[in-house]
Amino acid sequence: MPLEIVRNDITKMQVDAIVNAANCSLLGGGGVDGAIHRAAGPELLAECRTLGGCGTGDAKITKGYRLPARHVIHTVGPVWNGGVHGEKELLTSCYRSSLELAAENDCESVAFPLISAGIYGYPRAEAIRVAVDTISSFLAEHDMTVYLVIFDKDSFVIGSKLFRDISQYIDDNYAAEHDDSTARSRRLELPRMFSAAAAPIRSVKQKVAADMYRAAQEDTCADEDTDELLCAVAANSLEEALGQLDESFSQMLLRKIDEKGMTDAQCYKKANIDRKLFSKIRGDIHYRPSKPTVLAFAIALELPLNEAKDMLMKAGYALSHSSKSDIIVEYFIQRGNYNIFEINEALFAFDQNLLGA
């Protein structure tokens, strides 16, 4: 996954470079600056002394010394001053210049803290927006793995209105685990194609299903009869469904990429999937991806909900209302927001796994 949001202490990250939210002197400080200097040891400060400071929005690189990371990239974020003094442009420049410096030094993996979101007072939701937008646009043109490292839970916030909207959507849709109303609705919620109200009966299977639907509505059969009928119909509809599985996930993915007029690279980058994984999927028509990977491609292809469900089914999955993660993804699809990075921010804010590999 080219852009991951993780909860960790950046000094522990096993990456080619970690980024330090420094001050212009580069001679250490509090916050993440202090933590990095403590973990790297005195040699880091000795090298920093030779750099002659750093301008706001610029970046300079040193070795990592006792850190697991090979390098430290020091950048100086803007102090928040109401947002009308070019703070956003300067913060954007911090991420971009750090990424460019990492690429110049052949770094394949980089970890960022939330620059300026601590002592420098940048509002956290906006700081995250700038970080994710700048990193994701860099990754559209470069192959690199970037981690946005969140040190403490409350430093990761998404817009409060969005958070409330999603919370409400989860409340409205989150299926209770095992209550009898669910069991009862199982009997009544037949697959749409079997509903008695649907198109004229076209096969015996649908005739049986329609009888069962009516009986279940009148609730005249005993549970075991209904379940038996359900199993009979399910077995037949499963046979029918299996008969329709003529296209694998991989084949549907490649077909959809062509139909959308996208290149492979545009699709997997928009899905926040790395090139290596895409090559595996492309090379094996029976490849079994993970559910987050399938959803990531459904988002990248901007599939409507029914087609996203179809793509999931071809990989052996289904959207479930007993999964908060699925409900959050459904929330964004229903609203036509296919920005996978915004979806991942929301998933992270709700402690759910992210979309992508």
Interaction site with ligand APR (CB under 6 A) = 9-11, 21-23, 29-35, 77, 113-120, 149, 151-152, 155
β pairing state of 3-7 and 145-150 = parallel
Nearer to ligand APR, 79 or 262 (CB): 79
Min dist CB 21 to ligand APR, Å, is 3
Nearer to ligand APR, 119 or 234 (CB): 119
Nearer to ligand APR, 151 or 163 (CB): 151
Burial 119-138 (b: 16+ CB within 10 A, else e): ebebebbbbbbbbbbbbbeb
Nearer to ligand APR, 97 or 325 (CB): 97
Q: Measure the CA–CA gap between 296 and 294, rounded to whole angstroms.
A: 5
Min dist CB 36 to ligand APR, Å, is 7
Nearer to ligand APR, 94 or 311 (CB): 94
β pairing state of 109-112 and 145-150 = parallel
Q: In one letter, which amino acid is 353? A: N
Q: Is 222 helix (H, G, I), strand (E, B) or coil?
A: coil
Min dist CB 56 to ligand APR, Å, is 10
Nearest 5 degrees, angle CA 315-CA 316-CA 322?
120
Min dist CB 163 to ligand APR, Å, is 18
Residues pairing with 72 in the sheet: 18, 62
Q: Is 148 helix (H, G, I), strand (E, B) or coil?
A: strand
CA separation, residue 109 to residues 17, 105, 320, 353 (Å): 7, 11, 34, 20
Q: Measure the CA–CA gap between 15 and 344, rounded to whole angstroms.
A: 21
Min dist CB 24 to ligand APR, Å, is 8
Identify whether the C-beta of residue 329 lies closer than 8 Å to the C-beta of residue 356: no
State the greatest distance between any 2 C-alpha atoms of the chain, in Å, as a whole number.
86
Min dist CB 251 to ligand APR, Å, is 43
Tokens 């490849």 — which residue?
287
Q: Measure the CA–CA gap between 271 and 252, rounded to whole angstroms.
A: 15
Nearer to ligand APR, 325 or 344 (CB): 344
Nearer to ligand APR, 40 or 149 (CB): 149
Min dist CB 130 to ligand APR, Å, is 12
Min dist CB 60 to ligand APR, Å, is 14
Q: In one letter, which amino acid is 34? A: G
Tokens 């192959």 — which residue?
143
* Helix (H) or strand (E) run with residue 59 in it: strand 59-63
Nearer to ligand APR, 69 or 210 (CB): 69
